Copies of this chain bind each other. A is one copy, B any other.
Amino acid sequence: MHTALAIENFTSTAIAARSIPPTCVADVPAATAGLVRSHEKDEEIFAEGHRAAFVYKVVSGAVRTSRLLCDGRRQIDAFHLSGDIFGIEAGDEHRFTAESVGNTVVIAYRRCSIEALAASDSALAQQFVVGMMRSLERAQDHVLLLGRKNAIERIASFLLDLAERIPDKAVVDLPMSRIDIADHLGLTIETVSRTLSQLEREAVIGLPSTRRIVLRNKTALQRLAA
């Protein structure tokens, strides 16, 4: 893992922090300075139970936040992509483990700095509330998916959701493995694989390679997502 110091406005969309010209620095309160951290594939960013000293934003790559049951069953709460904020906690401990999915760059903002700043800067505080709200809405959507949708509906919903979060909304390059998808959707890798194959057979999607999915028939996918 490689670390560098960066000054970036917390609310700006993800840009390579190192590329911000020095003239910008003066515009940004010093307290929002963040540490840029590069992670290789599958590195731990923080672990469940660790002190929640930082809040993070994804610059590039993807991060998964997950929890384990005592016997090892894993549930991936969410995948965080470019621009997403993760690691916000009400208490002082992280309730999830966060790991890089592929090679990933994040910015870590010291929590106490942010909290101090939020007291005076209500716009910043607002940003946090918005970030939290987004997490809440995502979690609630996921509850509906896990509680009431079948395998095809889960996969279809997942693909559409992912497609909405990336630039090219017709071709999805999956940053994560089938295991990750399974642990996110409450399925097994076999079911994920079978369901994707089935959707390909039905010409709803294309699978040019294992990590690339072409949304051939988005209407059909939306119908299948229930």
Contact = CB atoms under 8 A, between A and B. Distances in A.
Given A226-B69, A226-B70, A136 B146 contact: no
B146 A143 contact: yes
B135 A136 contact: yes
A213 B119 CA distance: 46
Contacts of A95: 137, 140
Contacts of A139: 136, 139-140, 142-143
A110 interface: no
Q: Which of A96, A119, A134, A143 has the most CB of B within 10 A?
A: A143
Contacts of A149: 69
Interface residues of A, number: 36
Contacts of A96: 140
A226 B75 CA distance: 13
Interface stretch (A3-11, A19-27, A125-133): A125-133
A178 B148 CA distance: 16
A216 interface: no
A69 B129 contact: no
A1 interface: no
Interface string A41-58: 000000000000000000
A73 interface: yes
Contacts of A129: 129, 132
A219 interface: no
Contact of A74 (B135, B148, B183): B148
Given A69-B226, A148-B75, A226-B70, A90 B137 contact: yes
A149 B226 CA distance: 23
B134 A90 contact: yes
A70 B122 CA distance: 39
Contacts of A125: 125
A147 B73 CA distance: 10
Interface in A124-179: 125, 129-130, 132-137, 139-140, 142-144, 146-149
Contact of A148 (B69, B119, B142): B69
A180 interface: no
Interface string A172-195: 000000000001111000000000
